[in-house]
């Protein structure tokens, strides 16, 4: 079991409010990702769930039981730290066995379990080495092994991949996802990398300055961000924002957002006319930075797109893929995706003028 419920949890550091009152419920077996910019309180939140940090007010329930005052070891949660936090003077074997040795478990059984975990994580050959003699990825696996071997009711990961190089990160991302499929244990995963969030999560929790901005599945967040912050944070490259003065379905909007993949290019006609700036060729895709009067738009086009630096192009949004935000940044009529072409063309006038 691994249900975790947060009720009105807050955190103050010396009177400075780092986490504002927030509610969150995490179901058993879910892969939940906390994302947000640096310093927004993700680690603090995770450490409060782990019990390494006291909550200032509110309640944390694990499997329906109030665990706010439970010491960390009794919560049945395992944590993987960003710095791995391996015990440098112990062999890999002893590192993995450490949590089991704290219980009154039989030595032969411990040996069995450690070897089984080492087997699944491809660590069998390194059992007698010390952490200092391992590569970053191997250390990461040892840290995960030390967490798995306890068979916890939930795993907590604090940016576990941020010390690895890009290729290894992609690999480990897959391995952790696979692990989640195999173990079906609740996992809470902190990252500030939205790609990790999108690819791994069942449920993404977007943090900003100690608040939860939105909770939802990756695709829900991508399709229906509730505000400008989430819209800009989820998706890569970032959503384009264009300032407008308009009324959409009876509500005043001040900003329009279109994702780069929802803009189409044309030689002859379109909503905006602009000049192609820098092009980024990724092979499969090309990202074009198009200067239109007043804004720079990022457009995602095909890998073999014919445009070059300085070309004149027309850019138009795919009509029903446009997001509108009001003056305080909240999304306007988020659910109604079907937007009239009329309203888009009226925007083009404001952008052109």
Partner 1 sequence: MATTSSRFLGRAMVSPAVVLLFIWMIVPLAMTIYYSFLNYNLLMPGMQEFIGWLNYEYFLTDPAFLESFYNTLLLVCGVLAITIIGGTAIAVLLDQAIVGRNIVRILVLAPFFVMPTVSALVWKNMFMNPVNGLFAHLFTFFGFEAYDFLSQAPLASIILIVSWQWLPFAALILLTAIQSLDQEQLEAAELDGAGPMARFFLIVVPHLSRAITAVILIETIFLLSVFAEILVTTNGGPGYASTNITYLIYSQSLLDFDVGAGSAGGIIAVILANIVAIFLMRMIGKNLEK
204 binds ligand ATP (CB under 6 A): no
Q: Is 183 in the site for partner 1 (CB under 8 A)?
A: no
**Best CA proximity match to 19, nearest among 256, 265, 146, 208:** 208
User: From the list 1, 73, 174, 278, which residue makes contact with partner 1 (rule: CB under 8 A)?
Assistant: 73
Between 30 and 53, CB nearer to ligand ATP: 53
| Rounded CA separation 324/338 (Å) | 12
Residue 104 near partner 1 by CB under 8 A? no
For ligand ATP, give the closer residue by CB, 38 or 327: 38
In the numeric block, which tokens belong to residue 261? 């993949």
Residue entry with tokens 């014919």: 306
Q: CB within 8 A of 102, min separation 6: which ones?
A: 73
Q: Which does 78 bind (CB under 5 to 8 A by kind): partner 1, ligand ATP, Mg ion, none?
A: partner 1
Indicate whether 50 belongs to the interface with partner 1 (CB under 8 A). Answer: yes
Position 192 contacts ligand ATP (CB under 6 A): yes
Measured between its terminal Cα atoms, the distance across the chain in Å is: 60
One of 1, 8, 23, 39 touching ligand ATP (CB under 6 A): 39
C-alpha separations of 109 from 29, 100, 319 in Å: 26, 9, 62
Residue that has been written with the tokens 């798995």 in this structure: 148
Q: Which is nearer to partner 1, 123 or 154 (CB)?
A: 154
CA–CA dist 172, 292 (Å, integer)? 40
Please list every residue from 5 through 34 that binds ligand ATP, using CB under 6 A.
Answer: 13, 18
Q: By C-alpha distance, which of 243, 233, 235 is closest to 296?
A: 243
Scanning the chain, the segments in alpha helix (DSSP H) are 42-50, 92-101, 107-120, 136-148, 166-183, 194-200, 218-223, 228-233, 341-352
Instruction: Give dist(CA 187, CA 34) in Å, integer.
Output: 11
Span of 40-48, 137-145, 230-238, 315-323 interacting with ligand ATP by CB under 6 A: 40-48
**Judged by CB, which is closer to ligand ATP: 90, or 209?**
209
Choose from ligand ATP, Mg ion, partner 1, none: what does 89 bind? Cβ within 5-8 Å by kind: partner 1
Question: Measured from the CB of residue 33, what is the shortest distance to partner 1 in angstroms?
Answer: 20
Measured in degrees and rounded to the nearest 5, phi and psi for residue 350 equal -65, -35
Q: Which is nearer to partner 1, 105 or 337 (CB)?
A: 105
Q: Is 105 in the site for partner 1 (CB under 8 A)?
A: no
CB-based closest residue to ligand ATP? 43
Sites of contact with partner 1 (CB under 8 A)? 50-52, 72-73, 77-79, 81-83, 85-89, 98-99, 102-103, 130, 146, 150
Sites of contact with ligand ATP (CB under 6 A)? 13, 18, 36, 38-44, 192
């Amino acid at each position: 079991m691994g249900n975790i419920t947060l009720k009105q949890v807050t955190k103050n550091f010396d009177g400075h409010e780092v986490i504002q009152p927030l509610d969150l419920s995490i179901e058993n077996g879910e892969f939940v990702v906390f994302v947000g910019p640096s310093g927004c309180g993700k680690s603090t939140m995770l450490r409060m769930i782990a019990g390494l940090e006291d909550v200032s007010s509110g309640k944390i329930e694990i499997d329906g039981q109030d665990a706010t005052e439970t010491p960390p070891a009794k919560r049945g949660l395992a944590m993987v730290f960003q710095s791995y936090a391996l015990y440098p003077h112990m062999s890999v074997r002893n590192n993995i066995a450490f949590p089991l040795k704290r219980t009154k478990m039989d030595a032969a059984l411990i040996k069995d379990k450690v070897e089984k975990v080492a087997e699944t994580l491809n660590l069998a050959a390194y059992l007698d080495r010390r952490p200092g003699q391992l590569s970053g990825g191997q250390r990461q696996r040892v840290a995960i092994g030390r967490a798995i071997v306890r068979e916890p009711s939930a795993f907590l990961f604090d940016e576990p991949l941020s010390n690895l190089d890009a290729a290894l990160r992609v690999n480990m991302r897959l391995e952790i996802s696979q692990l989640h499929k195999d173990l079906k244990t609740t996992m809470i995963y902190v990252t500030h990398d939205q790609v990790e969030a999108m690819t791994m999560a069942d449920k993404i929790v977007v943090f900003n300055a100690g608040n939860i901005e939105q909770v939802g599945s990756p695709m829900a967040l991508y399709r229906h961000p509730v505000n400008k912050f989430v819209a800009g944070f989820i998706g890569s490259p970032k959503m384009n924002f264009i300032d407008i003065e308009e009324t959409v379905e009876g509500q005043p909007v001040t900003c329009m957002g279109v994702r780069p993949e929802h803009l189409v290019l044309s030689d002859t006609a379109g909503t905006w006319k602009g000049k192609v700036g820098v092009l980024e060729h990724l092979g499969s895709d090309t990202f074009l930075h198009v200067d239109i009067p007043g804004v720079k738009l990022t457009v995602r086009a095909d890998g073999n797109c014919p445009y070059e630096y300085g070309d004149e192009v027309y850019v138009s949004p795919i009509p029903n893929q446009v997001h509108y935000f009001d003056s305080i940044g909240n999304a306007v009529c988020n659910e109604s995706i079907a937007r009239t072409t009329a309203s888009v063309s009226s925007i083009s006038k404001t952008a052109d003028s």
